[in-house]
Each structure stands twice: as structure tokens, then as C-alpha cells.
């Protein structure tokens, strides 16, 4: 059974966009105040944005919910695996790759202008192994540094897409058999003990399990009591795997997606550009800092650091909006053209 009506589905997706927007903005604030922009750190706001660590569990949980829901509404069968994976890659790869190429261009432009890279950039080199590992989100698997640090989450998402392609039919088939479903989810959770710093999904699987449970609950494939008990167990697993921030972020996402009813133009806008903001803030941030720091100097007072922090945030949001319009939105449209079966109520994914 699917979401009860189109109005409630649309409203629920608005909450997801709200969470995505807040999480993406929080991650950008944390990076800008603590690590990415060397001339404004240490920043007086750095400790305040520790809460942004809650954003990553939210991203993973939302994917664990939205991707199965989209597959369910599209009538996904195992024979659709190729088209489903192609759909996800068209949605994700063009924006992510272009952001990487922009970062590579900035690196070489810095060398051309100054004889050295722009301060604050990481550089894994241009060996074939480095380039391929970055383009196919397999940094940890091949022990390669990233052009854009935040892309480690895309590696986890990429691995989830591969697994859910084959696990989804089994999850749905076992939904009415609580014992077997529990054993399946427990087996997925226990892959955490196989984690060896390479297959990243094993480390963060509990967040995706919570999202899958929410999907099964919202589509009425499991009982409310089972959802509560299983969600509690998965939240404990989140705590064991990722500590207080992991568990807290998961609980906040679950409660918000079930009970919060909030929507306004600002949160809608942030949700819309959240992916673009997440993948491009390093690009826009380091360039903005490079261009503006000659105006502010290398040794800044705390008030100026705070001021410049907000200037860089505004620049990154503006750049993300342009990137969304030119790159991400067309990728979304291309992805939507690949259909599995007739979609009941489209979901933003």
C-alpha cells in the first residue's frame, strides 16, 4: 500500500526538503567555521556549529527512506535493476563530477597565478587511480584522498544504491513476516563488525535501516508497534556505531518526518539547492576566500572573521543556486525520463 493521498505525500516531502536544507547549510557552516577556510579559523562560531554533525545521519536516513519509497511507487522489480541504477547515476554523477572538475581547474589556476595551490585545498594528484577513485566514489576502497572532502558521504550513498538494488525486493517480501524481516535487518546491521575502513556503508548502515523502517511504516507494510520496537533497536545501533550525534540526528529526523508540519519559502529554497550547496561549497568557499582575503588581510580580528564567515556563506548559497539551475536541475530532468513502471505519486529523490 502506498502513501494514502497525494496531498499528504507532497506535504511529507516538504518536511524532507526542510531537513535536507537545514542539514546541508549546517554542514557548510561547520566546514567554513572549522576547517575549509584557513584565514577565518579559528572562528568564534566554530564550537557553535558542532550541532551540524547531526546533518550527516539525517542525509543517510532520508536516503534510506526516499529511495525505497521511490522504488515502491515505481513498481520496482529486480529486472529493473539496471535502469534503476542508471537513473540514480544520472541524477548524481553529472553535478558531482562537474564540481570535481571545477575544483581541479581551481587547483591548476592557483598554480598558474601564484605558483602554488590555493590554501585550504586538498589534492590527491592526477594519477589514473586518483581520478577514477574520485569519479566513481571509491576513495576509501582504494585508499585515495578526495578532491572534495565532503564527498565521503557520496561514497556511502553509492554503496547503498548498489545494495538496495538487490535488497529491496527481499525487504518488501519479508515485510509481513516480522521475524524474518528482523533477521534480515539484523544481518545488515551486523555488517558493521566487518567494517575495515574501506566499505563505508558497513559503518553507517543503521541510519539507512531506520530510513527503510520508516518507509515500511509510512506505506503500512509493518505495524506501528513493530516500527517503534525496531526503530528503537536501530537507534541503539546508531549510538553504538556513531555515538551521541549519530543517535540524536536519527531521532530528530524520525520525529520531524513523522510530526513536524513546517514549510516556508526559505526552507523550500534551501531544500531545493541542498545537494548543489553540499557538493559545491568547497569550490565557492576557497575561491571567494582567495579573492577577498587581500581586502581583509591574513590576520583578522574575531569580529571580522565572523563577518567574513557570513559573506562566504552567502556567496556559497548564491553559487549553489546558479549550479542548481545550470547543472543539477537538468540532471534531475534527465533522470526522471528513465522510468521503471508508471509512478503512482512522484517523489523527489
pLDDT digits (tens, 9 = 90+) for 132-174: 999 999 888 888 889 998 899 999 999 999 999 999 999 999 9
- The model carries a pTM of 0.88
How high is the pLDDT of residue 7?
40
- Asked if residue 345 belongs to a domain, the reply is no
The count of domains in the chain is 1
Which residue range forms the structural domain that includes residue 310? 6-336
- Asked if residue 296 belongs to a domain, the reply is yes
How high is the pLDDT of residue 240?
87
What Å distances lie between residue 181 and 28, 175, 240, CA to CA? 37, 6, 21
- Asked if residue 348 belongs to a domain, the reply is no
How high is the pLDDT of residue 60?
93
- Asked if residue 349 belongs to a domain, the reply is no
C-alpha angle 132/156/12, rounded to 5°? 130
- Asked if residue 1 belongs to a domain, the reply is no
* Helix 302-323 / helix 6-34 crossing angle, nearest 10 deg: 140
- Asked if residue 26 belongs to a domain, the reply is yes
- Asked if residue 130 belongs to a domain, the reply is yes
Phi, psi of 77, rounded to the nearest 5 degrees: -125, 160
Judge whether 172 and 184 are in contact, CB under 8 Å: no
Least Cα distance to 199 among 238, 155, 234 occurs for 155
Judge whether 335 and 91 are in contact, CB under 8 Å: yes
DSSP state of 123: -
How high is the pLDDT of residue 91?
92
- Asked if residue 79 belongs to a domain, the reply is yes
Q: How many residues does the chain have?
A: 349
Least Cα distance to 171 among 124, 209, 205, 137 occurs for 209
How high is the pLDDT of residue 341?
59
CB-count exposure of residue 143 (10 Å: 0-12, 13-18, 19+): exposed
Give the residues of the chain that fall short of pLDDT 50: 1-12, 343-346
Amino acid at each position: 500500500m502506498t502513501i494514502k493521498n497525494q496531498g499528504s505525500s507532497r506535504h511529507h516531502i516538504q518536511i524532507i526538503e526542510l531537513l535536507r536544507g537545514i542539514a546541508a547549510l549546517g554542514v557548510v557552516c561547520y566546514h567554513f567555521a572549522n576547517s575549509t577556510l584557513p584565514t577565518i579559523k579559528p572562528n568564534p562560531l566554530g564550537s557553535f556549529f558542532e550541532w551540524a554533525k547531526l546533518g550527516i545521519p539525517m542525509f543517510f536516513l532520508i536516503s534510506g527512506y526516499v529511495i525505497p519509497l521511490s522504488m515502491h511507487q515505481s513498481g520496482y522489480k529486480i529486472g529493473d535493476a539496471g535502469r534503476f541504477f542508471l537513473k540514480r547515476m544520472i541524477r548524481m554523477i553529472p553535478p558531482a563530477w562537474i564540481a570535481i572538475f571545477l575544483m581541479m581547474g581551481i587547483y591548476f589556476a592557483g598554480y598558474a597565478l601564484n605558483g602554488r595551490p590555493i590554501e585550504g585545498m586538498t589534492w590527491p594528484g592526477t594519477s589514473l587511480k586518483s581520478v577514477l577513485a574520485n569519479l566513481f566514489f571509491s576513495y576509501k576502497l582504494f585508499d585515495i584522498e578526495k578532491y572534495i572532502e565532503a564527498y565521503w558521504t557520496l561514497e556511502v550513498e553509492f554503496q547503498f544504491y548498489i545494495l538496495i538494488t538487490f535488497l529491496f525486493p527481499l525487504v518488501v517480501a519479508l515485510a509481513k513476516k516480522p521475524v524474518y524481516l528482523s533477521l534480515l535487518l539484523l544481518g545488515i546491521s551486523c555488517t558493521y563488525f566487518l567494517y575495515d575502513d574501506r566499505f563505508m556503508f558497513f559503518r553507517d548502515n543503521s541510519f539507512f535501516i531506520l530510513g527503510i523502517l520508516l518507509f515500511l511504516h509510512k506505506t503500512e507494510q509493518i505495524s506501528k508497534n513493530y516500527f517503534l520496537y525496531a526503530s528503537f533497536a536501530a537507534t541503539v545501533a546508531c549510538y553504538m556505531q556513531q555515538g551521541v550525534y549519530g543517535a540524536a540526528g536519527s531521532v530528530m529526523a524520525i520525529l520531524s518526518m513523522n510530526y513536524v508540519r513546517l514549510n516556508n519559502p526559505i526552507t523550500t529554497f534551501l531544500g531545493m539547492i541542498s545537494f548543489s550547496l553540499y557538493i559545491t561549497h568547497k569550490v565557492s568557499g576557497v575561491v571567494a576566500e582567495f579573492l577577498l582575503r587581500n581586502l581583509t588581510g591574513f590576520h583578522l580580528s574575531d569580529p571580522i572573521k565572523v563577518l567574513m564567515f557570513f559573506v562566504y556563506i552567502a556567496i556559497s548559497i548564491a553559487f549553489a543556486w546558479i549550479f542548481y539551475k545550470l547543472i543539477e536541475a537538468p540532471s534531475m530532468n534527465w533522470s526522471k525520463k528513465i522510468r521503471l513502471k508508471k509512478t503512482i505519486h512522484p517523489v523527489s529523490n
